[in-house]
Amino acid sequence: MEIRAVPYDHADAVALDRLVQLEYARRYGDGDVTPLDPAMFRPPHGVYLLAYEDGRPLATGGWRAQDANPEGYADGDAEIKRMFVVAEARGRGLARRILAALEADARAAGRTRMVLETGIKQPEALALYASCGYLPAPKFGLYRTYEDSRCMAKPLVGGEEAERGRRAGTHA
């Protein structure tokens, strides 16, 4: 298993994005219409990762920088987007590995909080994030007014670093 950073518009990333959009449509009746641009996932403002096995892409996930804005984000946020594992590779810990790599990358880029939006029709996603330390958060983003939307957050700094961030006025 190899995790690689790739551009958001890389052919393998596009192929997996098509699959995740089909999954959203199956569960919710439509795909995710959040506007995303490849530039959002370019370091140091984000990263897009693919997990490969024997040259085949099996899992994906990215983060993009967010700061305080009218959609409810806070300064220092890193927003997770497009977490997905192909059906035949589920249950092998790939999502956890991608998530840990995203958290480490966002932390190294100076982000102080990881945030995500998912929905009630994705119970396995909700369980994964909860088991990795994510807690319910006030709604943000494009789907913040949707009844079936759930937002979660996890501090990327702890203890002394979080206190320094609070004193400096950032959200940890």
For the chain, the 3-state helix, strand and coil shares in percent, each to the nearest 5, are 35, 30, 40
Q: pLDDT of 40-80, one tens digit each?
A: 999 999 999 999 999 999 999 999 999 999 999 999 999 99
3-class DSSP state of 3: strand
**Other CB atoms closer than 10 Å to residue 90's CB: what's the count?**
14
pLDDT higher than 90, residue 167: no
Q: The tokens of 146 are what?
A: 């949707």
**Other CB atoms closer than 10 Å to residue 23's CB: what's the count?**
16
Decide: 17 and 82 in contact? Cβ < 8 Å.
yes
Burial (CB count within 10 angstroms: exposed 0-12, middle 13-18, buried 19+), residue 145: exposed
- What CATH number is given to the structural domain containing 134? 3.40.630.30
Q: Is residue 151 part of a domain?
A: yes
| Alpha carbon distance 82, 62 (integer Å) | 6
Q: pLDDT of 89-146, one tens digit each?
A: 999 999 999 999 999 999 999 999 999 999 999 999 999 999 999 999 999 998 998 8
Q: Is residue 46 part of a domain?
A: yes
Count of structural domains, the chain: 1
pLDDT higher than 50, residue 172: no
Q: Is residue 172 part of a domain?
A: no
Q: Is residue 111 part of a domain?
A: yes
Q: The tokens of 12 are what?
A: 């393998």
- pLDDT of 46: 98
- pLDDT of 158: 76
- As a whole number, mean pLDDT of residues 14-28 equals 95
- pLDDT of 52: 98
User: Domain range holding 78?
Assistant: 2-167
Q: The tokens of 171 are what?
A: 């959200």
| Alpha carbon distance 25, 119 (integer Å) | 12
- As a whole number, mean pLDDT of residues 19-29 equals 94
- As a whole number, mean pLDDT of residues 18-32 equals 93
- pLDDT of 122: 95
DSSP strand pairing (135-136 vs 113-119): unpaired
pTM of the model: 0.89
3-class DSSP state of 49: strand
